[in-house]
Amino acid sequence: MPELETTVGPRFDWRPNPKPLPAAEREAGLGSAAFGTVFSDHMAAIDWSHDKGWTNRRIEPHGPLNLSPAAAVLHYAQEIFEGLKAYRWEDGSIRTFRPWANAERFARSARRMALPQLQLADFVGSLEALVQADSAWVPTGLGSSLYMRPFMFASEAFVGIRPARSVSYLVIASPVGSYFSGGLASVSIWIDTEHSRAAAGGTGAAKCGGNYAASLLGQVKAQENGCEQVLFLDAATFSQLEELGGMNVMVVTVDGTVLTPPANGTILEGITRASVMQLVRDRSMPVIEQPIELRWLLEALASGQVSEVFACGTAAAITPVGRLAGKGFDVTVADGAPGPLTMSLLDELTGIQYGRLPDKHGWTTRLI
Ligand X SMILES: *Cc1c(COP(=O)(O)O)cnc(C)c1O
Interacting residue ranges for ligand X, rule: CB under 6 A: 83, 207, 243, 246-248, 268, 270-273, 313-314
Q: Which is nearer to ligand X, 192 or 243 (CB)?
A: 243
Residue 336: strand pairing partners: none
CB of 127 to ligand X, least distance (A): 15
- For residue 366, the minimal CB distance to ligand X (Å) is 20
Return d(Cα 112, Cα 191) in angstroms, integer.
27
- 155-187: string of b/e by CB count within 10 Å (b at 16+)? bbebeeeeebebbbbbbbbbbbbebeeeebebb
Residue with Cβ nearer ligand X (64 or 362): 362
Strand-pairing partners, residue 331, are 324
- Closest approach, Cβ 113 to ligand X, in A, equals 14
Determine the Cα–Cα distance for residues 367 and 94; give it in Å rounded to an integer: 6
Cβ closer to ligand X: 59 or 271? 271
Whether the CB-CB separation of 14 and 59 falls below 8 Å is answered with: yes
Total residues found in the chain within this entry: 368
Query: 313, 317, 308, 312: which is closest to 349 by C-alpha?
Result: 317
Rounded to the nearest whole angstrom, what is the least distance from the CB of residue 210 to ligand X in the complex? 11
Nearer to ligand X, 12 or 232 (CB): 232
Distance of alpha carbon 246 from alpha carbon 138, whole angstroms: 23
Beta-carbon-side half-sphere exposure of residue 97 (alpha carbons within 13 Å): 31
For the bound state, the minimum distance from the C-beta of residue 273 to ligand X, rounded and expressed in Å, comes to 6
Whole-number minimum distance, CB 215 to ligand X, in Å? 8
Q: 164 or 231: whose CB is closer to ligand X?
A: 231
| Phi-psi region at 210: left, alpha or beta (left = phi > 0; alpha = psi -120 to 50) | alpha
